[in-house]
Structure 1
Amino acid sequence: MTFSWNPPDLHDRTFVVTGATSGIGRATATALARAGAGARVVLAVRDVDKGARVAAEIPGETEVRPLDLADLSSVRAFAEGWDGPIDVLVNNAGVSVPDLRRSVDGFELQLATNHLGPFALTNLLLPHITDRVVTLASQAERAARLDLDDLERQRTPYKEFRTYAGTKQANLLFSAELQRRLHAVGSPVRTAAAHPGFVATGMSQGSGGLGGLMTRLLAQSPEDGALPVLYAATADLPGDSFTGPEHLMHMRGGAELINRSATAKDPDLARRLWDLSERLTGVTFLALRP
């Protein structure tokens, strides 16, 4: 089953898109806002001034709210300031950094931004979410060697791509375990993960050498990269779906359901990662908050 973006009726639906000031996040927010009168798109961003400039260029009803996923106090403030339903939360924001850096909470920065922040945000917002949670992952997860005993790179050498791949595998494990927990409590909320393919964004365009050449020759636009995200956010898909592009080994064009690595399907690993993430963030599963 393939997908082309034919916007459904999004009247009176609220979407929260993290990292919506550039790249895939901006393309996703723009497409959702343009899809139909009445949709409300909230840009959850670190730089609210930049967010306001972006929102001014997007047609439809938009709102900008501050959110730094690498700062758990910012995540909590965003959740505490929310009132009303959220139809779809899109965990889009992510980073890849060349050297070992720490978040304000002391976590390795990619882990903090790409996994722990979205983990905490999603759980804190679950009492408000009515339809689904979409988390951006990547086929890079197939190169991961996720070590739950050293997630924060305290002992093993830091390697940018390997660390990034590990966070993307964590995204898939998180999505699967969240769906299991939601199903166990009878919640109608669904989860989905999306792989945008090979996209020319700020993260990829900064690379040089062969990587830079491949980006210039093969990378698709953020608008095309947003198609699997829009598919995951609006199509009638089963819980814990994984979407990606249709062509060039799921790297370009369109959107369809795709597979993931055997490790990313491991339910025991997903449960152990969840338990560790709860300990690190201090945030637990809140779907049944009174």
Structure 2
Amino acid sequence: MTAPRITTPFGATSTAAEVVAGLDLTGRRAVVTGGASGIGVETARALAGAGAEVTLAVRDTAAGERAAEDITGSTGTKQVLVAPLELADPASVAAFADAWTGPLHLLVGNAGVMATPLTRTPQGWELQFATNHLGHFHLANRLLPALRAAGGARIVSVSSGAHRRSGIDFDDIHFHRRSYEPWAAYGQSKTANVLFAVEATRRWAGDGVYANALHPGSIRTNLQRHVDQAEIEALRRATPGVAPWKTVQQGAATSVLLATSPLLEGVGGRYFEDCNEAGPHRSGTSTGVAAYALDEQAAQRLWEISAATLGR
């Protein structure tokens, strides 16, 4: 029997502050990857403003410190910390996780790269898959003891409507044989973000750890630094029923909802957009979740491949 779809009082124009209003996160500890800019900093601001201790896990710690000062200035809280994290570098992920002590209640996998030119890590992994999926997969697994220790933890996997561009090409994930196409690579990595939430929940719900994925909407941020804006506008014009641009505060709302809403207690393995659980994608529309992104067999297969890739 299919579980009922989660609906909330919020929608496409809701902001992160509106979603968290009235909630008290005192005593909760959160990590937000990519928390120095874009929707990451607004996600962190909302969590900190509600009383959580928030660690900004960032590549550029100087930018992270500036973001932390800004959040402190706007919220009055001093519980905003900064730590280095390069998701495409397994050693950096391990160092971050090994340095963590105590419980972790909220892990927001927000950082990412979009439509980059073909770039490979020293291990030969395609950069978008390595950063957007493998890095977050590695981080969550290394932080699992801290998540378990929270006595009820949530993982928020920031995916994208672009997951509908590509499923997982299990025969050539890293484009060693097929021609590289930046948007196909991005779409594949975003599908992986959803599949991660499906399988993480299956494996870890018994430990009180639940994961959900989301599409934040279209927001102008540094994520698009590798893409010509004219190309983005052309893609938007070619997409039926594409939604308007969101502000960064609106873009962070669904992440914050998944991290904090009482309506999501004990809920995992689902995909949300505009602060509500998405329905199945229908051809000719720009909403919904592709069936392959929720496929349980694909989720298990991807997990096993990811673990083997990282030598876990």
- TM-score under structure 2 length normalisation: 0.82
Partner of 1:11: 26
Partner of 1:86: 104
Counterpart Cα distance in 2 of 1:97 and 1:222: 20
Identical positions, percent: 41
Counterpart Cα distance in 2 of 1:111 and 1:7: 37
Q: CA RMSD in A?
A: 1.7
Counterpart Cα distance in 2 of 1:159 and 1:21: 28
Give yes or no for the alignment of 1:47 onto 2:60.
yes
Q: Deviations over 1:93-145 (max 9, x none)?
A: 00014311012332110011000000000000011013111110112111213
> Is the 8 Å Cα contact of residues 108 and 155 (structure 2) preserved in structure 1?
yes
The residue type equivalent to 1:264 in the other structure is A
Give yes or no for the alignment of 1:198 onto 2:224.
no
Q: Deviations over 1:36-61 (max 9, x none)?
A: 3xx20000001111111111111221
CA offset at residue 64 of structure 1?
Answer: 0.3
Partner of 2:300: 271
Partner of 1:140: 162
Counterpart Cα distance in 2 of 1:212 and 1:141: 18
Residues 1-290 of structure 1 aligned to structure 2 (within 5 Å): 1-2=7-8, 3=10, 4-5=18-19, 6-36=21-51, 39-59=52-72, 60=77, 61-129=79-147, 130=150, 131-183=153-205, 186-204=206-224, 206-209=227-230, 211-212=232-233, 218-236=244-262, 237=264, 238-245=267-274, 255-259=275-279, 260-283=289-312
Counterpart Cα distance in 2 of 1:159 and 1:181: 33
Q: Once structures 1 and 2 are overlaid, which stretch shifts more, 201-210 or 99-108?
A: 201-210
Counterpart Cα distance in 2 of 1:7 and 1:50: 30
- Structure 1 residues without counterparts, runs of 5 or longer: 246-254, 284-290
Counterpart Cα distance in 2 of 1:105 and 1:81: 24
Counterpart Cα distance in 2 of 1:104 and 1:28: 31
Counterpart Cα distance in 1 of 2:100 and 2:136: 16
> Is the 8 Å Cα contact of residues 114 and 224 (structure 2) preserved in structure 1?
no
Counterpart Cα distance in 2 of 1:104 and 1:71: 9
Counterpart Cα distance in 2 of 1:57 and 1:208: 28
Counterpart Cα distance in 1 of 2:219 and 2:144: 30
Partner of 1:249: none
The residue type equivalent to 1:126 in the other structure is L
The residue type equivalent to 2:245 in the other structure is A
CA offset at residue 85 of structure 1?
Answer: 0.6
Counterpart Cα distance in 2 of 1:140 and 1:153: 18
- TM-score under structure 1 length normalisation: 0.88
> Is the 8 Å Cα contact of residues 36 and 67 (structure 2) preserved in structure 1?
yes
The residue type equivalent to 2:39 in the other structure is I
The residue type equivalent to 1:193 in the other structure is A
* More RCO (CA 8 Å, sep 6+): 2
Counterpart Cα distance in 2 of 1:211 and 1:109: 20
CA offset at residue 209 of structure 1?
Answer: 2.0
**What secondary structure sits across from 1:57 in the alignment?**
helix
> Is the 8 Å Cα contact of residues 232 and 241 (structure 1) preserved in structure 2?
no
CA offset at residue 7 of structure 1?
Answer: 4.3
**Alignment: residue pair count:** 269
Counterpart Cα distance in 1 of 2:228 and 2:245: 13
